[in-house]
Amino acid sequence: MVRPFSLLLATAAVLLAPAAQAASEPEQAPKKTKAPTAAHPWYRPRHLVLQTGGGLGMVAAGAGYAYANNKVETDILLGYVPKRFAGSTLTLASAKMLYSPFTVQLAEQWQLKPLTVGAYFSYTHGTLNDEERGQYTKGYYWFSTDTRYGPLAGGRLSYVRPGSTREEPRHVSFYYELGSNDLYLISYAQNRNGLKFGQVLTLALGLKADF
């Protein structure tokens, strides 16, 4: 339990340190003006992500894109779960689509996105018993062992790193996401007395940094 948190903290320190330094430096940027499109070609990810939980890994890291004035994001993550927590070492590939409609400016350099909604999809590699060819007749188990998808909702707090005039400001954000998956939600939908909504929720905590 301790390890993912300390990892997150360490990464936060690393990410924030250059920002603090940049903030204290006097404005002496060279006068070479570059078009923003050249600095950020379309295929270059806008941010890096590191998170724990959410069913996507003890540690999951990846990159993502932002569009529509940073209101919509796509993040691609690769997660890892050690054997002692799941019975076998798991590698999870996942993708998230996120929509954050509101931004609240808390202070000059602090922003709050109070609401993020989205959905994710994940594929787990390394599961022990996930159907060998011919093991089951068609439809024996109607669900997939390794593919999960589900909704997400959360929020984030961002520190805005001052960018130079030619650049967009860069954010370092801490976020949380509450989520669930298809199988947990089916279980809840069919057992409104026997299960409470809180029991089917998962929590993810993470960091996101523009670069």
- Which residues contact another protein (rule: CB under 8 A)? 1, 4, 52-58, 79, 81, 85-88, 90, 92, 124, 127-130, 132, 135-136, 141, 143, 145-146, 148, 178, 181, 183-184, 186-187, 190-195, 198-199, 201-205
Q: Give the separation between CA 83 and CA 22, rounded to whole angstroms.
A: 41
Q: In the numeric block, which tokens belong to residue 177?
A: 């996401």
Q: Output Rg (C-alpha) for the chain, integer angstroms.
A: 20
Residue of 202, 211, 210, 209 lying closest to 92 (CA atoms): 202
- In whole angstroms, the minimum distance from the beta carbon of 144 to another protein comes to 10
Nearer to another protein, 110 or 121 (CB): 121
- In whole angstroms, the minimum distance from the beta carbon of 72 to another protein comes to 26
Q: Which residue carries 């069919």 as its tokens? A: 190
Neighbour tally for 207: CB within 10 Å: 23
3-state secondary structure 78-105: EEEECHHHHCCCEEEEEEEEEECCCCEE
- In whole angstroms, the minimum distance from the beta carbon of 171 to another protein comes to 24
Nearer to another protein, 145 or 164 (CB): 145
Nearer to another protein, 159 or 184 (CB): 184
Nearer to another protein, 131 or 168 (CB): 131
Could you give the C-alpha distances from 203 to 53, 147, 153, 154, 198, in angstroms and in order?
6, 19, 10, 9, 11
The strand pair at 59-67 and 47-53 is best described as antiparallel
Q: Give the separation between CA 23 and CA 64, rounded to whole angstroms.
A: 25
- In whole angstroms, the minimum distance from the beta carbon of 37 to another protein comes to 39
- In whole angstroms, the minimum distance from the beta carbon of 207 to another protein comes to 15
Nearer to another protein, 55 or 64 (CB): 55
Asked whether the CA dihedral 16, 18, 20, 22 is positive or negative, the reply is negative
Nearer to another protein, 15 or 204 (CB): 204
- In whole angstroms, the minimum distance from the beta carbon of 121 to another protein comes to 13
